[in-house]
Structure 1
Amino acid sequence: METAIAGAGPTGLFTAIALARRGHRVTVVDRDGGPAADGSWPRRGVMQFHHPHGVRQQVVDALEAEMPDVRDALAAAGAETSIVPAANGRPAMAIGLRCRRSLLERVLREAALAQDGVTLVRGHVDDVLRSRGRAAGLRVDGRELRAGLVVNASGRAGHLADDLRAPGESADCGLAYVSRHYALRPGAEPGPVNNPIGLMSRFPGYLAAVFLQDDRTVSVLIARLSSDRELAGLRAPAAFEAAVRLVPGLDAWTAPARSEPISPVLPGGHLHNSYRGQRDERGRVGLPGLVHLGDTVCTTNPTGGRGIATSLLQTRRFVRALGTDAEAATLELDAWCAERIRPWFDDHRAWDRDQVRQLAGEDVDLDRPLTSGHIVAAAERDPSLMRVVGPYLSMTALPATLAEVEPAARAMYASGWRPPVPDGPSRDDLAALVRRTVAVTV
């Protein structure tokens, strides 16, 4: 089948390779032309491309099932397996890869370029072609690209075929962040960690994190309330570097003797959780032969590291269901996403609301069920809860499973226990630092 894919991010590239290996002839269209001759790749229009990423085991499983050669190429390029050590009778467990998104996309792109049956085209997708009530391809820069199957993998900012779906749901995460990549110097030992991903600390009024990435690189991040205009000044290099010198943990990783910056200071955009199915307002597939995948269906707060995982879970489901009836496969995908993907949107929406309240200084509300963030924090105090919390964190169990241990976590909070707050500068301390180092004009 001739297939046209709008978008050459992880979802579009993975889908192209998987379909080509099933006999499809696939054309992938993207405005970005790929890495420059000198190896640089700005990837304009994809805000999250250079920010920290966690590549979960669901992504690894998808690669190993559909294209193990790509998994091997990632390892050869420096991606490392992230391992949870053995504990309490449980064996050590792989939970994903330490890998920058830029590396993942480079390797996927190289595989797509080398794949028989896949063609990458640079251009702007204007619209979906329609003929006799079915998708008939894409209009690219005013020209027609004919295809019997069209995949919309245009990403979270895409609006392709908006008129063919019922309106989605969206919720402001309430958070914004700024990050920078660093590389460890030759012979330098890694800095402190407190989880398999790296380091995550909640200070009064902000979050600080270090994500372990590939080839001895790390991404350092500070997240704030999106309404906090003063801390928006951390996007200025002088302010960011001054801040990471003050925050415990970040100071160790970014010490000049240990590492050096290898990227600019990168401000993140306004973050939203969103979910949108395949059907139109009549409950039907809006245009048979057109399927929406990846961030066009679901986006979640990137601090959870679930975006690429939920995207490739969708893609695997669709390509396995796809036979001669694309509409039937799309309906099956839609029902499956409502059961298996939407719960992560609902979970983030509730968790983010609570996280915003916490960062604003509010206490946990015991008059309503605890959200997952509070339950996860309680498991640090009572490791027996990890029997249920662990599968949730690894995305092998849905958020609803946390209900089993919610009463135990609630009792902990009702007793007066609260997660310990690490020593370090407060939000006001960072705001004062920003005022000293840069004029905030946001």
Structure 2
Amino acid sequence: MTTLVLFLVVLLSGLPIFSALILAAFIFLLEYDLTFLFENTLADQLYGALNKNGLLAIPLFMLVGELMNRGGLTEKLMSAAEVLVGRIKGGLAYVNLLTNAMAASILGSATAQISIMSKTMIPVMEQRGYKKDFASAVTMAGGLLGPIFPPSMLMIIYGVIAYQPIAALFLAGIMPGLFIVFLFAIVIFFTGLFSDLPRGDKIAFNDGVKRLGSAILPGLIPLSVIVLIMLGITTPTEAGAIASLIAFILGAFVYKNIRIKDIPSILLNVATSTATITILIATATLLGWALGFEGIPDMIVEALAGLTDSSFWFLMLVYAVVIFLGMFLESISVMIVLLPILIPAIESYGIDPIHFGVMVSVATVVGIVTPPVGPGLFITMQNTRLRMGTLFSAFVPFLLILLVGMVVIAIFPQMSLWIPELAENWGK
């Protein structure tokens, strides 16, 4: 228990997450007079944490996102979405939501998606007559889809830590992701009923066909990832490599938006982001090992069993803890800190680990846009100059319906498991 308390104290002191993780593990060794393990065990733990093939997917899918943004492919998807739903009342809000859903299958990160889309969609919606707070709320809601649709960075990290197949986790996020898109669309619909949301401009037939046609090639990238994995043709890592190649060819040679001079900065961004994630995973493994030595996971399982023997209420408790921590920590950090503790517990409650991975991924994104420290909230505030109260009050309807959706996902695990089971039977 000392290790866990120490970790929380160090974390609250403001040190970087990885520093808190490794410092807690070191002091644990000193406390139990296990310094003789410094040389071998620590190195083995760090090496073992990173010596996993699933981690190769992280830089590859980050590279896909960088290449698509630099190559202007995301803008073509947005243009196509406007053709499909832009003419109805509140059409640009639906366009925002659909574009975010398509971008989610490229970026895989909520904060990155909110940052990018708030700079592009909010000014356009303002120009078309939408209130800034509503436009910002729609953009934040859509940005939360990033870690749910494949390829999700959170799903990859969950798969590595929980020893679950990443391909199954990717496929498990599709139905819940579409369900959440539907729920957000309901909020937009009812907002349009009670307020005067603008309609989009009429798009000429030829222009509409041209826009839809221009989105076919960019749309092949997320489609190729899902199809290749679902049919069992490639692993997620191989699918990421293929998607990166397609994105590079389109951005550099078809649309000619990526130049040779852009490549170093693209690779640097990918390397920096990957290094941040991998050092968190490695140091979290050390903490997980220390907590296991102290028997913390078993103690927590026993404590939870004392509170409830219902798997549903256990999942509600997990939701509450994950959302609370997500208010203060980045979503990847929340997952890395909690999973070594929660994984043993879900086994005792008979919860499917694939379904649990989807639930945790959805829960972590709530904290991203929740005060007092939600990073997605502050990114949007910075880009729009809105006050926190104004922005969050506009977002509340989306938050409430998301919480309802999370309960529905918990009640119906087949929402997560149907496509992975279909793919498994297909491959037989």
After TM superposition, the score normalised by the length of structure 2 is: 0.25
**Higher relative contact order by CA 8 Å / sep ≥ 6: 1 or 2?**
2
Q: From the two aligned structures, give the one with the greater helix fraction.
A: 2
After TM superposition, the score normalised by the length of structure 1 is: 0.25
Q: From the two aligned structures, give the one with the greater strand fraction.
A: 1
